[in-house]
Amino acid sequence: MISCKEDEGELVKRKAMTDVIMENPEFSMLKDIMQRAKKSDAFRSQNQTLLAPSNAAFNKANIFSSSVITSMPDTSVDEFLNSHVIKSVKKYSEFEAGSLATAAKLKLGVTKKDSVITFNGAKISRKDIETANGYIQVLDSVYVKVIK
């Protein structure tokens, strides 16, 4: 009989939020925005929840290129990105109706009807993508107004 002992160094670790965004074509616009805001390290190390608009969500808002956001001033790009960050780790089932503040201090209206949760009207199209430092909740639309 042969037995294998798992060595802690051999265990497969979850990817950091940055890596999930960087490697997934569904988030190519978000990736560009994150790089422009110089937030790659923050999304790698900080424990948080990201309400991530997918490329389809940007397209639904008539944003077909990340340059619409990346061409804005640094502070606006940073604020846009932080408007999608919750500074705590939350699974989909842990969100409650009411209001919720983002890292940019944007107050989101959270509604919960049956099993559907929306943030300022944006629904979660894919929930609980687990990363090494939190969860990504994929939005079906962009819920913040883009200020030029």
- Closest to 133 measured CA to CA, from 100, 85, 99: 85
So what's the pLDDT on residue 12? 73
So what's the pLDDT on residue 3? 52
So what's the pLDDT on residue 148? 44
Bridge-based pairing of strands 134-139 and 122-131 is antiparallel
Give the CATH architecture of domain 13-139: Roll (2.30)
pLDDT at 69 over 80: yes
Mean pLDDT of 117-144: 94
Please state, rounded to an integer, the average pLDDT across all residues of the chain: 90
pLDDT at 33 over 60: yes
Cα angle 147-99-27, degrees, rounded to a multiple of 5: 50
Q: In whole angstroms, give the CA distance from residue 129 to residue 86.
A: 15
Helix (H) or strand (E) holding 117: strand 116-119
Q: Is there a contact between 37 and 71 (Cβ–Cβ < 8 Å)?
A: no
Q: What is the DSSP letter of 14?
A: P
Residue whose entry in the numeric block shows the structure tokens 């846009």: 80
Contacts of 100 (CB under 8 A, 6+ apart): 86, 107, 108, 110, 119
Percent of the chain, pLDDT > 90?
A: 83
Residue whose entry in the numeric block shows the structure tokens 């500074």: 87
